[in-house]
Structure 1
Amino acid sequence: MKLTTEQIEYVENYIISKDIKWYELQVELTDHMVTSMEGFWEKNPELAFHQVKQYAENIFVGDSSFKSIEKQRKRILQKEYRKVQWKMITEYLKFPKIFGSILLVYLAYTFSAYFVSPQKYLAVLFCPLAIVGLLYVHYWRKSKEIEGKYFLTLETLNPTLLVFSFPSLGMSITTQLKEELLQHQWLVLFFCCIWVLGILFSITAIHLQKKTIENVKKQYQLT
């Protein structure tokens, strides 16, 4: 027995009432619930609508809850995102792209010679990375909502921790290693490598975000 449009809307609103605000989860959970309910109803047509809904929910959700399914899905998405991003970053560390990364490290290290204080140079080096990070976070906040709909897939791309970790790491450690930076030039080279790694993380994060937004719009036919 097929559910009517009104019944499907009731199931959808019921799922939303469980504090599920992510559109793709609303669609997916509704589809699963409706399919399960129709299966129950086909076997037991004498059951009432709310009985079928409860049976379907008990089997689909079990001892957990809709929010636990959301948390589990978020962990899976985060794991997949990190895996894809690391794969993209390693491509920049392989032949032939590694030459571009090495060139960036070389240029960054060469420019350090124009600064009397290595500490000031590294501060100048990492500050723009923080500014780019702020712009990226602003873009993420604007783009995670499409046509009034929120997507867990886009929420998972939250770059806040990533974009500020490299600038804060670079500037805080260089402050502590003020004397060591003057005595050991290899430390400056090391922080130049950290800076390039931060750039690679930012580039891959921006690329993944744009690609993910395009895929979401295409999948759900949004503009």
Structure 2
Amino acid sequence: MEILDHMILSVEAILDSDKTISFEKAVDRAKIEGFGNEGYIGIMEEKVKLAHKKIRNENFKMIKDYFTFPKIVFTCFIAISYFIFLSFFENPSKANYIAIIIVGFTGISQMLYSWKYRKCNKLYVLKTDILNRAYFLSFFGVQITQVYVSFGKEYIDFNHIFMRLLMTFIFTFSVLAVLGYIEIRKKTIVELKQQIFI
């Protein structure tokens, strides 16, 4: 609305000062005078950068919240349970790989659920688009797991306590990333339903 008001006032001023100029040229001139040669593109790019930064901050804040009381109890429960779970397997890397893949596909299912909200009145919703990209955070664990399973299976002792701690950390982080994504997705959908799109 502020941009629209600014444009209307600028076009009026140009039309008043130059009676020979057409309305279309007055709009073009107001756009260049008000927003530079890039016009609205500069504003759009700035808005996209701010939205990306906001979503990143929200994602990491959600994950960070799982390390404060009372959520830290839940986080510790996941980590300890998973560490014990891995000790039941002769080759814990396979069990870990399957568990991480399940977490990754849970992230995909959540992203597909929110896919229908990517557009509103045939317009792409920036926040939803950025949020859908954020689900890749849940695949961080899948990527790391693939690396050490593929390249380290002949050299790494997966039963070693440090290796099991690493697998536990990656699994716990992946679960928290998906839970954070779900929480932000729900909040975003509520916000979208409350918006009035003209």
Aligned pairs for 1:18-167 within 5 A:
32=3, 34-43=4-13, 44-45=15-16, 46=19, 48-157=22-131, 158-167=133-142
Cα-to-partner distance string for 1:133-187 (whole Å, 9 max, x where unaligned): 2212322332212343311121111235323222121232233333423352221
1:188 aligns with 2:183: no
For 1:217, the equivalent position in structure 2 comes to: 193
Greater Cα shift, 46-55 or 74-83: 46-55
For 2:174, the equivalent position in structure 1 comes to: 198
Alpha-carbon contact 1:37-1:52 (below 8 Å) kept: no
- The one-letter code matched in structure 2 to 1:170 is T
Query: Which structure 1 residue ranges, 5 or more long, are not aligned?
Result: 1-27
> Aligned Cα RMSD in Å?
2.3
Greater Cα shift, 186-195 or 157-166: 157-166
For 1:208, the equivalent position in structure 2 comes to: 184
- The one-letter code matched in structure 2 to 1:35 is D
- The one-letter code matched in structure 2 to 1:113 is S
Q: How far, CA to CA, are the matches of 2:80 and 2:55 in structure 1?
A: 30
TM-score, normalisation: structure 1: 0.76
Query: Which structure 2 residue ranges, 5 or more long, are not aligned?
Result: none
TM-score, normalisation: structure 2: 0.84
- The one-letter code matched in structure 1 to 2:10 is F
Alpha-carbon contact 2:32-2:39 (below 8 Å) kept: no
Alpha-carbon contact 1:119-1:175 (below 8 Å) kept: no
- SS of 1:180's equivalent in the other structure is coil
Provide runs of 4+ in structure 1 moved above 6 Å. Answer: none
Change (3 A) 1:206 1:59: farther
Greater Cα shift, 54-63 or 177-186: 177-186
Change (3 A) 1:186 1:56: same
Greater Cα shift, 63-72 or 90-99: 63-72
Change (3 A) 1:67 1:166: farther
- SS of 1:181's equivalent in the other structure is coil
